[in-house]
Amino acid sequence: MRLLRSPLLLFLLAALLTRAPMFGNPVIYTDEEFYLLVGSRLLHGAIPFVDLWDRKPAGLFLLYAAMRALGGHGVLAYQLVGTAFVVLTADIIRRIGLTFSAGFGAICAGLAYILWLNLGHAGAGQSPIFYNLPVAAAGFITLWAVLGRRPPFTGLTGAGCAVMLLMGLAMQIKYSALFEGVFFGLTFLVLAYRQSGLARALAAGALWIVVALAPTLLAAGVYAALGHEQAFVFANFISIFSRADTPESVLLTRLALIAVVLLPLIFCAAWPRPCDGTDGRTAFRFVRLWLAAAVLGLLLFGTYLHHYLLPVLVPAATGAASLLGRPRFRTAAIAILAIGFVTGESMMLISLKHHGSAAQFNRIAKAIDPAGCLYVYSGDPAFYNATDACIPTRFAFPSHLSRLEEAKALGVDPLAEVSRILASQPATIIVSVPYGDENEAARRLVLAEIAKDYGLSLRAKLGRDDVDVFRLKTLPAGSAPPGP
């Protein structure tokens, strides 16, 4: 019961308990491995989208660069910072929950957010755990305005600017925050119209749009000043529309899995329970509308990769506070949290077994030739970061060149790029097992070059997969050119 009086401490303990098994493991998910790689190379002068290509916003890589600067290879640093973001987000969820639920329900909502992250493959550093914090803060400020409470800013216009700036920063971590930003913006427009009329509401709305776009416009301006505006625009806004369509059966399967994970929280949030007082009913209605906006964003964004459910967790867990806080529902609330904990930890352990351990990773990393460049054709980009090897291509995320879905979305012919990489004779090539939607022609090119000029240095298990490390039989003179 003492922990219930110190919710921030309770959230910290819960986050550490659920996330500590991941600490120090460099091969949790390839996405965050790559973010850390780009952040690391950014500190040494590499330019995202130019020297290392991806379609995530520049702000995400700046965030990872800051975490990498904390020391070491950055693995534990980003995982600990991610844990801090999770704890703070959970506390904002609790504070929002208190506007329409009892303290117990609000605390349960914060705990549910922490526990459900592992169900969404976010036990370490997926981008939503970072942008969920500014989104939650923006939602809290918006709710204050809806309830007519004076936020710690100058009037409605100032509060709207604060919210839009938070959402602009969130969009520089991942652009999918746009949908919730639109909802908050429309909410402020309605409030401004009621307070000051149409003309002033439209003027304020124009200002809020500019503020929301400011971080992205700043990033675009920096790239334009460097002469790389085309690379910025293509990576951020064009390439995504050139990816091949995912089969409908795959999308439906992914969406069904997302629905299974979200269903308990959405059920609790949708439970028709009247709240005490006008403010409570208003706050609960606002959170439900926020949840609807987040779900709509998930549906419109498409592809339905499992971690795309993570932004929905903030309003879903917040809305769940209403039912979780009912006195007669306490036993059921504890049971729901217990199920979330057990299921999440089980999924985390399965993930660790699937992706591999730090010991397995380090054994493979030691087999990489330190004298030349490294090419990870398929596998984990973490090998680049662990070895500080030069990279013979700006497409360092392996599946960009090896996945059929990406073939027309890179701005280059992937087979021509693979051929160019092989012609440069990298000292080490890493090849993992074939996977679905792989560009078989690219694999054939790599295996043909390996058969001609490379020898097998190590075959080892990394999780469930075999990883082959091939080293060049004769290292060419002048190898190891400066890479990104």
What pLDDT does residue 482 have?
Answer: 44
* Average pLDDT estimate for 155-166: 96
Residue 475 pLDDT: 58
Q: What pLDDT band is residue 332 in, cutting at 50, 70 and 90?
A: very high
pLDDT range class, residue 4, cuts 50, 70, 90: low
| Averaged pLDDT for residues 32-47 | 98
Q: Distance between CA atoms of 35 and 65, rounded to whole angstroms? A: 9
Each residue's pLDDT tens digit, 437-454: 899 999 999 999 999 999
Tens-digit pLDDT profile for residues 208-233: 999 999 999 999 999 999 999 999 99
Residue 9 has pLDDT above 90, yes or no: yes
CB atoms within 10 A of CB 94: 26
Percent of the chain with pLDDT strictly greater than 70: 96
Q: How confident is the model at residue 476 (pLDDT cuts 50, 70, 90)?
A: low
- Binned at pLDDT 50, 70 and 90, residue 150 comes out as confident
Does residue 276 surpass a pLDDT of 90?
A: no
Distance, in Å, from the CA atom of 420 to the CA atom of 412, rounded to the nearest integer, reads 12
> Nearest-CA neighbor of 371 among 261, 239, 476, 446?
476
Arithmetic mean of pLDDT, 276-299: 94
pLDDT value at residue 153 = 66
pLDDT at residue 132 tops 90: yes
- Once rounded to an integer, what is the mean pLDDT over residues 66-86? 96
Question: Alpha-carbon distance 457 to 83, whole Å?
Answer: 37
Residue 252 has pLDDT above 80, yes or no: yes
pLDDT band at 89 (very low <50, low <70, confident <90, very high): very high
Rounded average pLDDT over 50-55: 98
Contact 182, 170 (CB under 8 A): no
The tokens of 390 are what? 């030069």
Per-residue pLDDT band at 481 (split at 50, 70, 90): very low
Instruction: Please name which of 90, 64, 72, 60 lies closest in space to residue 24, comparing C-alpha atoms.
Output: 72
pLDDT reported for residue 58: 98
What are the tens digits of pLDDT across the range 344-383? 999 999 998 999 999 999 999 999 998 899 999 999 999 9
d(CA 321, CA 353): 34
Read off the pTM.
0.95
Mean pLDDT, range 6-31, rounded to an integer: 96
User: Facing residues of 456 across strands?
Assistant: 470
Q: Assess whether pLDDT exceeds 70 at residue 3.
A: no
Given this model, what pLDDT does residue 455 score? 97
Q: Please state, in angstroms and rounded to a whole number, the distance separating the CA atoms of residues 248 and 254.
A: 10
3-state secondary structure the chain: CHHHHCHHHHHHHHHHHHHHHHCCCCCCCHHHHHHHHHHHHHCCCCCECCCECCCCCHHHHHHHHHHHCCCCCCHHHHHHHHHHHHHHHHHHHHHHHCCCCCHHHHHHHHHHHHHHHHHCCCCCCCHHHHHHHHHHHHHHHHHHHHCCCCCCCCHHHHHHHHHHHHHHHHHCCCHHHHHHHHHHHHHHHHHHHHHHCHHHHHHHHHHHHHHHHHHHHHHHHHHHHCCCHHHHHHHHHHHHHHCCCCCHHHHHHHHHHHHHHHHHHHHHHHCCCCCCHHHHHHHHHHHHHHHHHHHHHHHHHCCCCHHHHHHHHHHHHHHHHHHHCCHHHHHHHHHHHHHHHHHHHHHHHHHHHHHCCHHHHHHHHCCCCCCCCEEECCCCCHHHHHHCCCCCCCCCCHHHHHEHHHCCCCCCCHHHHHHHHHHCCCCEEEEECCCCCECHHHHHHHHHHHHHHEEEEEEEEECCEEEEEEEECCCCCCCCCCCC
Q: What does the pLDDT average to over 374-394?
A: 97
Q: Alpha-carbon distance 350 to 404, whole Å?
A: 27
Instruction: Report the chain's mean pLDDT, rounded to a whole number.
Output: 95
Cβ contacts of residue 417 below 8 Å, gap of 6+? 393, 395, 401, 410
